[in-house]
Amino acid sequence: MGNCNPHYLLNLELTASIKAETAAIKSPLEALDSTIKSESRSIRTLLRSLSSAIKTLRDPSSLEVVKPSLENVKPPEEVKKNVTYEYEHKNKDEKEEVEEEEKPYRETIKAYRDSHMKMIMRNPQSADELFADLRTLPKAYMDNYLKDKTNEFDLLYEGITKKRQLTPLSSDGNLDMDGKRIRMLADPIDNQDCVNKHYLMDVKKAIDVKINSVQSIILEQVELLYTDNFNNLKQHIDRVG
């Protein structure tokens, strides 16, 4: 005859319940493993595209950018901080003329950059598909894989920025960041390098945004998953206790 000890029966019931709860956790974690591998492939594809883009950016002539002719275009008479210009003024409408001639160049660069940004900023998979084991994610994922790739990116970025002594452009495209001197678009190659520099900064930020977005969703879902299963187990113990 079987053991009728109530504690023994309770232990059997609790053991079965724990196994069921463990199975409930195991299934989404296995799904998460597949999701992480998919995300890893996505990021590897992204980094390969980024590497290709960097190689392209190293050769501005391959961008097929419409470079405006700024010959004889002069900046306006009035400028901040008595900046000295390297060429003479032509008329009172120089600023508008410069902006008009720069327009196709800037639009081409923007379209080129935006096409990559859209690829980079693809929405992560929906939150209900993302679960994680807190002991391995995100630390191991970040430390092992992304650390090397981030270093690789930084080296490429550093190589481009040191290619010339670049002056970061302000939003108006003229004054450098500390406002000490003017840098117009008279030299398309130099300006291209400046665009490259800011483009790469945008790309790096976009990668960080994607990684942080996926991490935050994963951590949120882990917390919900474990909280739900803990509460279910606690309610079961309360019922049988």
Rounded CA separation 238/241 (Å): 5
Burial class (CB in 10 A: 0-12, 13-18, 19+), 203: buried
Q: What single-letter DSSP state applies at residue 168?
A: -
Q: Residue 66: how many CB atoms within 10 A of its CB?
A: 12
| β-sheet bridge partners, residue 176 | 169
Q: What is the reported pTM?
A: 0.22
- Where residue 72 falls (left for φ over 0; alpha for ψ -120 to 50; beta otherwise) is left
ω into 138 cis (within 30 of 0): yes
Can you give the pLDDT of all 241 residues of the chain as single tens digits? 455 555 555 566 666 776 777 677 777 777 777 777 777 677 777 777 666 666 665 555 544 444 444 444 444 444 433 344 433 444 445 555 555 655 655 565 555 455 544 544 444 443 333 333 333 444 444 454 445 545 544 554 454 444 433 334 444 444 334 443 333 333 333 444 444 555 556 666 666 666 666 666 666 666 666 566 556 656 655 665 5
